[in-house]
Structure 1
Amino acid sequence: MIEAKGLTKRYGETTAVNDLSFAAEPGVVTGFLGPNGAGKSTTMRMILGLDRPTSGSVTVSGKRYHELRHPLRTVGALIDARWVHPNRSARSHLRWMAKSNDIPQRRVDEVLETVGLTSVANKKAGGFSLGMSQRLGIAGALLGDPEVLMFDEPVNGLDPEGILWIRRFMHRLADEGRTVFVSSHLLSEMALTAQDLVVIGKGELIAQCSTADFVSRATEDAVKVRSPQLAEFRPLLADAGASVRGTDGGVLVSGMDSDTIGDLAARHQVVLHELSPQQGSLEQAFMQITGDSVEYASDFDHDARAATELAGTGS
């Protein structure tokens, strides 16, 4: 478990993290989200003892990182995939890490096999692609068989097969009862990976809840309707209390579920060609909820955000 209480970090007059409290529980994948400059990297560095909090505290399995005698056995982390001596082989790099925490050397080959790097174990890490470096970083995080795992942008550089692998792998780690804490800007992937979310903006907590709750809180579900009789059907839907807005090839109806729409169409002998529920996305929810927390935004960012909100609300 990772638990932050009133975590604050200031650099001179700049506050990077402000009174941040959250918990990442065992048995689930917790996504850590926020706009650029939100304080995610600073928070993760404080969890790992790389930055000292100005005030507040953060613990891993009930202890501060510096209190852990063999930290790699409690928490494994991938923060920077390129953090490896370029002239060391993958195997030598992991052996060095294992020796520093009294981890048996046999574990090195086990994790290399787990991440699919056995065939290149003796090659210099400096020649690795970004995807291979990510896999080596994941191997290092797994080395001590820890109960807590932290990943920062773990799918960068991975091909679709690799992305699917890491998603399933993180789910398996959580199913084993481990705490899995992952930060990523790929919201479509996080929607498939994270069961819970911690969302921050400008160093402060915006939300901590399940992914489903976060999306439903910020977006409105609708039903897509296609019919050759839309001109007749739209006023019937409006009279029944539904909100109707145009979309490509049909309309989106909110405030009424698909069963009710279907019954209404049947009563008035309206032919339907499509009746499909449309759920809001994590990207829509994120853009809407974090809209006031973007530290650096261009006109293009504002236009993109407005377009996303328009798609989600139908205004």
Structure 2
Amino acid sequence: MIEALGLTKRYGDVLAVDDLSFRIPPGQVTGFLGPNGSGKTTTMRMILGLDRPSAGSVTVNGHRYVDLPVPMREVGAMLDARAVHPRRTAYNHLRCLARSNGIGRSRVDAVLELVGLDGAADTRAGTFSLGMAQRLGIAAALLGDPGVLILDEPANGLDPEGMHWIRGLLRDLAGEGRTVLLSSHALNEMTHIADHLIVIGRGSIVADASTEQLLKSDDTPRVLVRVADGYGESLSRAVVEAGADVRRMADGALLVSGLDSTRISALAAAGGEDISELTPQVASLEETFMRLTGAYVDYRAVAGEWR
């Protein structure tokens, strides 16, 4: 269990985390989402005792992290997968961590095999790809067989097989009754991993709900439309004029947001276009995230022609 009460962090005049209160219970995967600069990593650092809160408190299993007698046996964490001495082998990196926490050699071998690095145990960490570094960071987090896991962008750099693996691993760990907190910008992947989502913007909570509830909270009608002949150019124009958004998919279909099937069908009939498909769509996590955090984005690119 992780619990924050009024957690606040200031850096001079900058309010990085603003009065956060939340509970992260065992037995589920909790996703921690927010735009760049929203305070996710700062919050994780305060949970782990790396930053001191300006106000409020955060505890793990009822205790401050710094008061845990053998932290690695209770909390496994990965904030920066590259935080490894580059000349140490994967095995020696984990062995040093294990010895400092009273963990035996057999556990080092076990986690290397678990993350798929047993064949690279004697390889220097500085030569690892980003995906391999991520696996080593996850191995370090699992070294003490902890009941709580805190992972910052654990899927970053993983290939499709790695994404499938990390999804199954985290689901299994939560199924064993562990507390799992992870941040990620891979939003579609989070739909498959996270049971619950906490979304923050500029240090404040924007949403705290189950993944299912959060997706259902976006009631904007979305419909996938296929036109029998052509690409539906006139229908696209009519949809936009009616105040909706339209996006052409890779296969030529239209994704219309803001109008229901009945209204789209009427517009198509008025324009003389035959529709072969009208399928209502559920909002994606990416769309829901953009709706929730649009007002909190600090760094926004401007679309336009490249010169």
TM-score (structure 1 length as normaliser): 0.82
Q: Of residues 280, 284, 288 in structure 2, which corresponds to 1:285?
A: 288
- Amino acid paired to 2:301: S
- Match of 2:217, SS? helix
Q: Deviations over 1:184-209 (max 9, x none)?
A: 11112112211110110111111100
Which residue is 1:294 aligned to?
297
Q: CA deviation at 1:106?
A: 1.1
Q: CA deviation at 1:217?
A: 1.4
- CA separation in 2, counterparts of 1:284 and 1:246? 14
Which residue is 2:196 aligned to?
196
- Match of 1:181, SS? strand
Which residue is 1:52 aligned to?
52
Which residue is 1:182 aligned to?
182
Which residue is 1:9 aligned to?
9
User: 1:43-192 alignment to 2 at 5 Å?
Assistant: 43-192=43-192
Decide whether aligned partners of structure 1 residues 135 and 272 sit closer, same or farther in structure 2, where only a CA change above 3 A counts: same
- CA separation in 2, counterparts of 1:119 and 1:99? 22
- CA separation in 2, counterparts of 1:55 and 1:130? 36
- CA separation in 2, counterparts of 1:247 and 1:144? 48
Q: CA deviation at 1:292?
A: 1.0
8 Å contact from structure 1 (residues 219, 281) kept in 2: no
8 Å contact from structure 2 (residues 95, 105) kept in 1: yes
Which residue is 1:215 aligned to?
215
% identical equivalent positions: 55
- Amino acid paired to 1:213: Q
Give structure 1 regions of 4+ aligned residues with deviation exceeding 3 angstroms: 221-229, 243-258
- CA separation in 2, counterparts of 1:28 and 1:133? 25
Q: Deviations over 1:77-120 (max 9, x none)?
A: 11100111111111111111111111122100000000011111
User: Structure 1 regions of 5+ residues with no counterpart?
Assistant: 235-242, 263-270, 304-315
Which residue is 1:308 aligned to?
none
User: Structure 2 regions of 5+ residues with no counterpart?
Assistant: 236-242, 266-273
Q: CA deviation at 1:253?
A: 8.6
8 Å contact from structure 2 (residues 9, 18) kept in 1: yes
Q: Deviations over 1:191-232 (max 9, x none)?
A: 221111011011111110011221221352434354659x9x
- Amino acid paired to 1:198: I
**What is the number of residues matched between the two proteins?**
286
- CA separation in 1, counterparts of 2:200 and 2:71? 26
- Amino acid paired to 1:161: E
8 Å contact from structure 1 (residues 226, 251) kept in 2: no
TM-score (structure 2 length as normaliser): 0.84
- CA RMSD of the aligned region, Å? 2.9
Which residue is 1:273 aligned to?
276
- Residue 21 of structure 2 is aligned to residue 21 of structure 1: yes
- CA separation in 1, counterparts of 2:227 and 2:188? 30
